[in-house]
Amino acid sequence: MDNTVKTRALVVRTANSGDNDKVLTAVSPELGKISIIAKGVKSLKNKNSSGCGLLCLSDFVLKEGRGMYSLMSADCAEGFYHLRDRAESVAYGAYFGSLLESGTEPGIPAAEELRLCLNTLFALTKRPEDGETLKLVYELRLAEVLGLAPYISEECQCGAPATHLSISEGETCCFAHKDPSAVELSRDEMTVLDFILTSELKDTLFFKSPPALISRLGPVSEKYLEYHLGRLPKTLEYLKKFTVR
């Protein structure tokens, strides 16, 4: 029986295993989230080591085992090396990768989730100064791909103007119908959320919004994702060392 698998996947987490090996977590369009035991790749002399780094999009040849894959070869197609020029960009990239890990499951194809992450990483290499905007876009669009996106309307279901977003219900509501999870939003903030959720991805990845608006919406989108995904990755705490002043 041939249990060799080929896939182009993004490495979203690496952990050391013993003196020479690594265990990789990667996201593949066909296989979803996968674990790979990569023997010998801690040595930089190993021919596969450059394809096994964090945020490497690599062509993997793998052998399928019980609940895990063994690395046969890894060939890096895109390493997002420009991100490494800025510590802050590395922190954003690591967070984007681990959020992709949180939003994917083993055995469930994740082509759209992966494409969103790759597009966001490419945008970050081009516009490293816009990390907070890209983070907001990525979080909301990932929620959308996962079927968790909030419904933004100018009106509450009762017809009154919407003033809040209910985190738990995932929809906008008026003051009278808000629940304890609701956060107040200005009209401008709702417009930005609606734009991000309903426009073409390429337009949202390159839009410019006043930084004050983005920094007010950042915590809203974090709270929203935390509620709907259960928790947010630890890499967010690391990112905040750069972004919270």
Q: Would you give the binding string for Zn ion spanning residues 11-50, x where CB under 5 A is met?
A: ----------------------------------------
Tokens of 5: 């698998």
Binding of residue 160 to Zn ion (CB under 5 A)? yes
Structure letter (DSSP) for residue 165: E
- Calpha distance 157→129 (Å, rounded): 39
Long-range contacts of 203-210 (CB under 8 A, 24+ apart): 204/137, 204/141, 205/119, 205/120, 205/123, 205/134, 205/137, 206/123, 206/127, 207/133, 207/137, 208/130, 208/133, 209/133
- What phi, psi does 156 have (nearest 5°)? -70, 165
CB 194, min distance to Zn ion, A: 18
Q: Collapse the DSSP code of 50 into the 3-class scheme (helix H, G, I; strand E, B; otherwise coil) and give the result.
A: helix
Nearer to Zn ion, 107 or 180 (CB): 180
Segment near Zn ion (CB under 5 A); pick from 14-22, 89-97, 141-149, 171-179: 171-179
Binding of residue 177 to Zn ion (CB under 5 A)? yes
Nearer to Zn ion, 163 or 204 (CB): 163
Segment near Zn ion (CB under 5 A); pick from 4-12, 45-53, 173-181, 191-199: 173-181
- Calpha distance 144→49 (Å, rounded): 34
Number of chain residues interacting with Zn ion (CB under 5 A):
5
Nearer to Zn ion, 155 or 203 (CB): 155
The residue from 148, 174, 197, 213 that contacts Zn ion (CB under 5 A) is 174
Binding of residue 178 to Zn ion (CB under 5 A)? no
Chain residues binding Zn ion by CB under 5 A are 156, 158, 160, 174, 177
